[in-house]
Amino acid sequence: MYGRYRKAHGITGNKLMPCEADDPDAMIKADGTFVKLKPQYRRRRSGLAGQKIEKSKAQAPAELLCGIGNCGGDKLLKTAVKLECCGRVFNDECIRTRLMENEFVCPYCKTEVELDDIVPDGEMRRKVKASAHEGAVQ
């Protein structure tokens, strides 16, 4: 009756976990109990490749990036300014350009904005600097 199961011989015990006989990944051990590979050991190669791609993409947390992104390059909020209307943060030049194109209507909350409503966001600038310093951001 155990014919359809793969045998777990040759797999290090600490890579295995107990499971039910009807588990699709079930293998059988010499003593007749059922085991399967722990999640971290399954399809290892593709899993690792996937992680690598995600990591390089996620180098800078989204909160440190300009939401408009006309700034190009790394989009980091090095010249962070905050809009009073909705509290969103952009790079200074990006939001000024965008507002001029939009007759000074905030592209996000559609409030009319004046230049005085664009305030430097010192805290964000510090965060960006700190993250660059830590080497988290190139």
Number of residues that bind Zn ion (CB under 5 A): 13
* CB 81, CB 128: distance < 8 Å: no
Strand order in the sheet with 118-120: 89-91, 80-83, 118-120
We find the least distance from the C-beta atom of residue 132 to Zn ion, in angstroms, to be: 16
Residue 91 token pair: 């790079």
Residues 32-91 that bind Zn ion (CB under 5 A): 66, 68-71, 83, 85-86, 91
We find the least distance from the C-beta atom of residue 53 to Zn ion, in angstroms, to be: 24
Helical H segments across 2-137, by residue range: 44-57, 92-101, 122-133
Closer to Zn ion by CB, 35 or 124: give it: 124
Binding mask 105-134 for Zn ion (x = CB under 5 A): -x-xx-------------------------
